[in-house]
Structure 1
Amino acid sequence: MKTINFEALFSASPNPYVLVDLSLTIVGMNEAYLNVTMREREDLIGRNMFDAFPSDPDSPSHRQLRNSFEKVIREKLADHLPLIEYAIPLPNGQGFEERFWSATHTPLFTHAGEMTFILQHTVDVTELQRLRVLARSSGLSSGPSALIETDMFRRAQAVQEANQALTEERQHLRGLFEQAPGFMAALSGPDHVFTMANAAYLRLIRRENIVGKTVREALPEVVDQGFLALLDRVHRSGQPFVGRSIRIVLEPSSGGAPEERFLDFVYQPVFDPDGKVSGIFVQGHDVTEQKRNEEALRESEERFRVIANSIDQMIWATQPNGSHDYYNQRWYEYTGVPEGTTDGEGWNGMFHPDDQDRAWGVWRQCLETGEPYHIEYRLRHRSGQYRWVLGRAQPLRDDKGRIVRWYGSCTDIHDLKMAQEETRRLASMLTERVAELDEANEEIQRFAYIVSHDLRAPLVNVMGFTSELEAAQAEVDRFYRNVLERDPGLVTQKARTAVEIDLPEAIGFIRSSTVKMDRLINAILKLSREGRRILMPEPLNMSQVLEAQRQSVAHQLQERGADLVIEALPDLTSDRFALEQVFGNLIDNAVKYLDTGRAGRIVVRGRELGENVQYDIQDNGRGIDPKDFERIFDLFRRSGVQDQQGEGIGLAHVRALVRRLGGSITVSSQLGQGSTFTVILPKYLSMNSEAA
């Protein structure tokens, strides 16, 4: 059974106190209790209350006392017995002495709220009870005996009320003591015995059950750190000790690593009525976090200075009112001014005269509103030239939202500024040039349309006369055959060659040329019409669009024994007719120029590229010479062996359409391996994005 140094708690109290645990085992008492019970401490410590003071279990006093203890344990509230008869045994077995008591039973709790002990405060009212009995036995209902009885009970009631008030006040003070935000403890005597310690103190030292122990016993690790010597000095001198940010290393009794803390505390001596130091009151605050933080701040400021002086930007800081008090080395290197000359408001004189009023106005507005500072102005360089810089600043606020500092930077953007002006100038020129090209393109389209119409008229005549020549050639051929049958001698060799070879060959050449010319004119008209057609964007399922293209070349694929594979394709919103022509031309070319020496394979695949989509048309055909990658997109230009029908317009038409749709087309290829045409288009085509 662990004992409590009860004398240290109530040694100075004249009233009897005894402390029992929840099994009603006596764990401590003060000297006054031993005096009224006429017992020795060793006879009581560790014994049950009813074993140490036996009584008849069926007696009213026994039941009254036990019921009071049980009520305190059950309800965890103090209970009062105004009057209880309870005899106490006399020393040396001399029998029992009848006694009357007024008792208060108070529950005691740990800082975690767990009830651990019951404190019994007793007042011996035997004499008062005897007076009361004497008064009653006299048979007098009035007069001196009645007055004595009345006064006796008035005094008893006053004592009981005083006990109740003391108990409530003690509980109130104990609650304040426990709930105090700072740590507090009370030490008694020259050995510094703990008589009280609040929850904050126990959390700090990470220990419990220190009441009744000396500092040396409860906190042995602090002895060599000088704290016990400080307590001894305060106890001897009677002078308080005040410590600020004092370092202490605590070792938890439950094990674990030692913990470093920093404390602000006071050792305040407590004096008895004779003016002598009877104990020390300890009160303070754990300032470990604050200590580690105003330190973290110093380290942060040092890091800030190192970083600020290692970067290319000019860094500065100001007080809350905007007065500059810090510049990094880049500022002085850039401006060439002596250190300190631009502190306060001297910085404004470094700006171009035309920018000073504007810069100061923006800065003043930011100081008034707390808004971030952002401005471009011309700053005087050490060369004397004014160069454009970008100024930025952000306020630093405390936990209450008040601005405590401003931190800013200046970045030289002069070259960027000049480049932007040049870019704007070039953009203006480009806009004018594009307008000119658009106008020229319109003229070309109109010209192509007119020319194609003008060419078609004589071509129709040529084609008509060719038909007449073909009819005349048939008559000449019949006449020639008749002459040859009747009189071969009339047919000369020249006539034979003219009729049989030259005339058919000339008419055939004219016919093929007019047909080719007709196709060419039709293609030019088609290009002209397409250039003027208004694009109509609509949501498109590209898998369906490409499936329709596969059906259109199904016969050619079957003839060549080739496959067209369409993989998963992203959808887009664009002009359906234009896309059908783009992919129709590319797939038709891929089929047309497959390598007859191997099975043909064409694959169409796609993927998303942010705001764009990419489509690849890959084949294993003849391939294209790298030198022809660009020329194949030119009008009337073709590449490789010319064994397939065509006018050199298809790819030029494809590129024109892709550009009108806001996209681009490129090719990659290896001769004998195959080609891949890559088309990149915007996901969403708007009328404003048309690139015509």
Structure 2
Amino acid sequence: MAASPDYQALFALSPNPYCLLDRQLRYVTANAAYLQVTASRLEDLVGRGLFDAFPHDPADPNNAPALQLRASLEKVLATRERDVLALIRYRVPRLEGGHPVVEDRYWSATHTPVLDAHGEVAFILQHTTDVTELQRLKEASAAPLQVEAGVLQRAHQVQLANHLLDAERRHLRALFEQAPGFVGVLRGPTHVFELANAAYLQLVGGRPLVGKPVHEALPEVAEQGFLELLDRVLATGEPYVGRDVPVHLLRHAGEPAEQRFVDFVYQPIFDAQGRASGIFVLGHDVTEKKRLELARAELLEREQAARREAEEANRLKDDFLATVSHELRTPLTAILGWVQILCTQGFPEERRRRALETVERNARAQAQLIDDLLDISRVLAGNLRLEPRPVALGAVVEAALESVRPAAEARGLQLEAAIEPHAQVLGDAARLQQVVWNLVSNAVKFTPPGGRVQVRVAPRDGALELRVADTGQGIPQDFLPHVFERFRQADGSPTRQHGGLGLGLAIAKHLVELHGGSIGAESPGDGQGATFRVTLPLAAERLAALSAVPPTPAQVPAPAAQRASTPAQPFTCPAQMDGLRVLVVDDEADVREMLRVVLESCGAQVHAAGSVEEAFALFRRTRPDILLSDVGMPGEDGYALVRRIRALGAADGGRTPAVALTAYARAEDRTRALLAGFHAHVPKPVEPAELVAALSALAPERA
């Protein structure tokens, strides 16, 4: 296809008449000079037989000039060599005064064969020269030898032109063969290869193509949709363009088909009647480019996956830090609030005792959180060490059960145990108790009232197995593979039902593996309970494995020194607090009670709610002057509550001032609270003086 413009230019620019005939002596094309001397139009010639267009004498098909011309052409077909008619008288039309006039004229004609890839004649190139005037001059001249010389000179010029044309044809053929893409011509309804260049042959493994239909030359493509495409192009006359199309080709004998990728064009070839009679094929093997693109796409996908993992890790880190802040600030609020109340006000002994119990309970909760943080820090640094010695696992489990039994009984749970009392493992008793306590306390925390927690210790397959099963809320199947990952929680949202940092199971897994054991979790799904299994080697096997390694002393850091604190100072209750109606919302009962005491000590009228639903109902019923609400609560959070209130009309309290009192204390948390409709954001833990100052600042003016 790349050589085609040169071919057209040659015909268009040549001053000599040229035409191209096929093997049936039908016109394929003709140049402008030919059309001019024959007073013809190209569309009237293409596809039409030479002797049908110019019979010399229509009344006598076997007239001598026609037979002479046919003999020359048939000689070329037979010998595959050029033939020259030095002089022939032949009748053709010519334009005179704008009208065609038929007359006998004299011509010199050269017929040159155009061979296909097999050396057979595919076309005949006819070059004609009108020598009528020279012949007439010869006939009329008194000097015939001079005229003859002129005719011979003209014939020599014709032969020279034919040599030049043949050189051009060979040049075009070389360009066709050397084209960087594969080029071919298909003919007829079975798509017979008429031409195929070297690149085409190389693509298909050097198999012969010319003269064979596609389904015979390339049988493997029959089931790949290409024959249907060719049929469609031939039927519709519409070209088809394919990009990055996969094709399986038998390129090497005895080997399976090889996948290649090609870009190609099927361009219909039209005959004189405008019907598609063949297809011109032009394409490029783009396999290497496609492989590079696939490699780049794979590399990009890996990079994007790595980026997603990094972003997920950053998100988990941010969520974990927010959770740490929340879980630390929540008990601090109750501790600090009650301590300051006890230091600045006198209370009856019973209330004082309950206040101290609240402080102790929250202090222990905070201590557990801090211990978990320190443990996970040691795990990450590789500094968590054991002091191994033979330990009766049953005794360790019993001690852990005693510590969680009060909580289980308070929730109305059945705590069942079946323990092998004598089997021993080699381990650190304190760390093993930490593992057991973590598993059992989780089971208690996630099992609803009336449920059951079962603990079993028994030998199994030469080891000792601890099994903790509950009838609680279970573990979602998509989270089960991540249950022992640090910083991961099945529900890490502000509306989660249960607190904690999500570190306990990660620490337990690390401790079990330090003991040479394994831990696993099972759960049929949400609401169907969960089972945790810990397998530890018996003491005899473990001692044999560690006989060459001396025990490492425990490296548990001593508790941090107590920080000095400024004694609590009495605070003055602003006048705006007297009689101020405040709705307090917090899911923690200890915090609600502390807030109630602080506010009522300043003369405020306090209503308290433990959930958004309860708070909204109290709000509609009591119409408080100000709302003081936690943010992170089970079910609906504080943002949902303030949005519901802001949706009310002004007459129904929709503009009531609201303060967010929350353990989510980041800058983005403050921004989110203000955007949700709160007027102020007060982070936990909060000084009573700071709290009443914030509320009094928003208290509505009274008449």
Question: So what's the TM-score if we normalise by structure 2?
Answer: 0.29
Ranked by relative contact order (alpha carbons within 8 Å, sequence separation 6 or more), the top structure is 2
Question: So what's the TM-score if we normalise by structure 1?
Answer: 0.30
